[in-house]
Amino acid sequence: MSELNELYQQLILEHNKSPRNFRVLDRCTHDADGYNPLCGDHYHVWVNVENGVIMDIGFQGNGCAISKSSASMMTAAVKGKSVAEVKALFDTFHAVIMTKIGDEVPDATIEALGSLGALAGVREFPARIKCASLAWHTLVAALNGAGSSISTENNG
């Protein structure tokens, strides 16, 4: 498990250093602004949805390594997926990072998350859970057509 943790840590650092899809989209159908005042993480997410599928996604902003790598991993994970699949993926990811310390998360659940599973360990650091979920809350707000801004202090 410690080898796996090390691998996951490197993945997080790598995404923080070279975030995927870190750009403004020329054309988008949805976008939203997300802010985590507890840490100062602040991102904007743009999505281009066609026929219910996320054709393209981009994000920009600033924040801690956890928030930026989570946003980067999210964009890589959701591109090409349907909106319904993305919401299901978020439900799984959110359930994992909200699992109480001491409670078991099945290995199969973490494996099903792919690279997002690298962030499963944040559940042991409650202050960082909102950093890891910020980009996702922002994406869901964009997809729901909120088209505005969300704060982790209003959305949990």
Q: Of these, 11, 28, 39, 76, which contacts Zn ion (CB under 5 A)?
A: 39
Give the whole-angstrom CA distance, residue 45 versus residue 55.
Answer: 14
Q: Is 41 in the site for Zn ion (CB under 5 A)?
A: yes
CA distances (Å), origin 26, targets 16, 59, 77: 23, 12, 20
Which of 28, 64, 76, 105 touches Zn ion by CB under 5 A? Answer: 64
Among residues 109 and 151, whose Cβ is nearest to Zn ion?
Answer: 151
Q: Is 56 in the site for Zn ion (CB under 5 A)?
A: no
3-class SS string, 41-96: EEEEEEEEEECCEEEEEEEEEECCHHHHHHHHHHHHHHCCCEHHHHHHHHHHHHHH
Asked if residue 97 binds Zn ion (CB under 5 A), the reply is: no
Query: Which parts of 73-92 interact with Zn ion (CB under 5 A)?
Result: none
Please report, as ranges, the residues that interact with Zn ion according to CB under 5 A: 39, 41, 64, 67, 131
